[in-house]
């Protein structure tokens, strides 16, 4: 059996005060003092110093708590008023803009900021890739219109510019990332627009405490520009819960959210693997606002790429060499280790080497005067390129260009 004794008067007073404070009923200071005095009249003796002291302390604490609650309520009221005034200012500013006000022409901004020049260079540098170029133009259009709105004083916000590039190697992902950085810099959405390319080895450490400094160092280099993470799915290892890549991913997620106005992060890799990566890291997918797929090149497009590469190197592919290269690239596409434009670049480099050996041998021939003409120095002949017969002779699995 448990016997419950009646409360003493001072205890009853204490309970009553706590009840009023918890019920958001606050006693003024003069009422609190009167409350204490009444307890003395109702039976507290001078010898009950301990109980009286405890009650006084409790009353003081309740007064402090009530003051904090009042201050917090006042602070919230002031913040609500500031937010209301801010919204009203926006409405007043919008109403003050004449209906026929002009912010400028799109063409003017495209020329003035150099965006049109970069888009034209993208067309020149990259053969084909029509869907990719269209997506880049859409992003550029959004940035131009956003700037026009800003000129009129309309409310603007920085869109999510983080991207995902999916496709096979050699399809132009790095080139497009570089051009996007230049567009963002010209439009004022990044400070420098430079490109930093990184892989798992650049971001993930080999021991505890090594990953965070490596990842932050790469991010620091890319601040104000674009960070391209190639084969980003290697950052996550589903078979190992203790893999250090998870730490790097968490840092990247935080940067993508908190520093989105100062850095653009581009994740690149094969589409199927990137889709699987996003299924493991849903927070990453939600932060990427632009998904661009890079298709494989057709043989005709690869021939055009080879001509562009020769042009940039101040070479010319002879008319007889074009069908040789075309048949070569068609065969090469069916073999292992094919990498689209990278394979073309390697084939052109091999042709340059063969042309150099051909001219060198000709110059040292006894029947030659040793002179080499400008045309010879600039022309790649059909025998300078690897033929289909040579590919077949070397074997299907041979790593050749």
Q: Is the pLDDT score of 103 beyond 70?
A: no
pLDDT digits (tens, 9 = 90+) for 285-315: 888 888 888 888 999 999 999 998 999 899 9
User: Reading across the β-sheet that carries 290-294, which strands appear in turn?
Assistant: 195-198, 226-230, 264-269, 163-167, 290-294
C-alpha closest to that of 264 among 295, 229, 213: 229
- The pLDDT value given to residue 45: 47
Q: Are 293 and 315 in contact (CB under 8 A)?
A: no
pLDDT digits (tens, 9 = 90+) for 178-228: 888 887 787 777 778 888 999 999 999 888 888 899 999 999 999 988 899
pTM of the model: 0.65
Band (42; pLDDT cuts 50, 70, 90): very low
Band (400; pLDDT cuts 50, 70, 90): low
Write a three-state SS string for the chain: CCCCCCCCHHHHHHHHHHHHHHCCCCCCHHHHHHHHHHHHHCCCCCCCHHHHHHHHHHHHHHHHHHHHHHHHHHHHHHHHHHHHHHHHHHHHHHHHCCCCCCCCCHHHHHHHCCHHHHHHHHHHHCCCCHHHHHHHHHHHHHHHHHHHHHHCCCCCCCCCCCEEEEECCCCCHHHHHHHHHHHHHHCCCCCCCCEEEECHHHHCCCCCCCHHHHHHHHHHHHCCCEEEEECHHHHCCCCCCCCCHHHHHHHHHHHHHHCCCCCEEEEEECHHHHHHHHHHCHHHHHHCCEEEEECCCCHHHHHHHHHHHHHHCCCEECCCHHHHHHHHHHHHCCCCCCCCHHHHHHHHHHHHHHHHHHHHHHHCCCCCCCCCCHHHHHEECHHHCCCHHHHHHHCCCCCCC
- The pLDDT value given to residue 99: 54
Q: Is the pLDDT score of 71 beyond 50?
A: yes
Whole-angstrom Cα distance, residue 248 to residue 238? 14
Q: Is the pLDDT score of 70 beyond 70?
A: yes
Q: Is the pLDDT score of 43 beyond 50?
A: no
Mean pLDDT score, 35-45: 48
- The pLDDT value given to residue 365: 77
Give the pair of three-digit tokens for residue 71: 């201050």
Mean pLDDT score, 259-273: 88
Mean pLDDT score, 338-365: 89
- The pLDDT value given to residue 324: 93
- The pLDDT value given to residue 40: 47
More confident site: 104 or 207? 207
Mean pLDDT score, 306-325: 92
Q: Is the pLDDT score of 156 beyond 70?
A: no
């Amino acid at each position: 059996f448990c016997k419950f004794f009646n409360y003493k008067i001072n205890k009853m007073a204490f309970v009553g005060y706590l009840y009023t404070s918890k019920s958001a009923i606050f006693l003024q200071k003069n009422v609190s003092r009167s409350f204490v005095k009444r307890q003395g009249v109702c039976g507290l003796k001078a010898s009950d110093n301990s109980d009286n002291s405890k009650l006084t302390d409790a009353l003081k604490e309740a007064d402090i708590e009530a003051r904090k609650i009042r201050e917090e309520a006042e602070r919230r009221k002031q913040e609500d008023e500031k937010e209301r005034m801010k919204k009203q200012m926006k409405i007043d500013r919008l109403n003050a803009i004449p209906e026929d006000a002009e912010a400028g022409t799109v063409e003017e901004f495209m020329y003035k900021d150099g965006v049109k020049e970069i888009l034209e260079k993208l067309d020149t540098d990259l053969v084909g890739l029509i869907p990719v170029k269209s997506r880049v133009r859409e992003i550029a259009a959004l940035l131009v219109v956003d700037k026009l709105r800003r000129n009129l004083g309309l409310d603007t916000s920085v869109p999510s510019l983080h991207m995902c590039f999916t496709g096979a190697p050699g399809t132009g992902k790095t080139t497009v990332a570089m051009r996007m950085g230049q567009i963002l810099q010209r439009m004022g959405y990044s400070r420098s627009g430079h490109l930093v390319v990184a892989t798992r080895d650049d971001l993930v450490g080999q021991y505890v405490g090594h990953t965070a400094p490596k990842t932050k160092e790469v991010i620091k280099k890319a601040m104000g520009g674009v960070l391209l993470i190639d084969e980003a799915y290697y950052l996550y290892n589903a078979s190992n819960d203790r893999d250090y890549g998870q730490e790097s991913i968490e840092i990247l997620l935080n940067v993508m959210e908190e520093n989105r106005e100062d850095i653009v992060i581009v994740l690149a890799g094969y589409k199927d693997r990137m889709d699987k990566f996003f299924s493991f890291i849903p927070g990453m997918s939600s932060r990427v606002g632009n998904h661009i797929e890079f298709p494989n090149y057709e043989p005709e497009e690869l021939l055009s790429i080879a001509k562009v590469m020769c042009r940039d190197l101040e070479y010319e592919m002879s008319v007889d060499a074009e069908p040789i290269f075309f048949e070569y690239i068609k065969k090469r596409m069916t073999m292992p280790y094919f990498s689209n434009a990278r394979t073309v670049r390697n084939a052109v480099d091999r042709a340059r080497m063969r042309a150099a050996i051909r001219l060198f041998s000709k110059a040292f021939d006894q029947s030659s005067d040793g002179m080499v003409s400008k045309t010879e120095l600039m022309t790649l002949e059909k025998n300078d390129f690897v033929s289909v017969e040579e590919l077949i002779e070397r074997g299907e699995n041979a790593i050749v260009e």
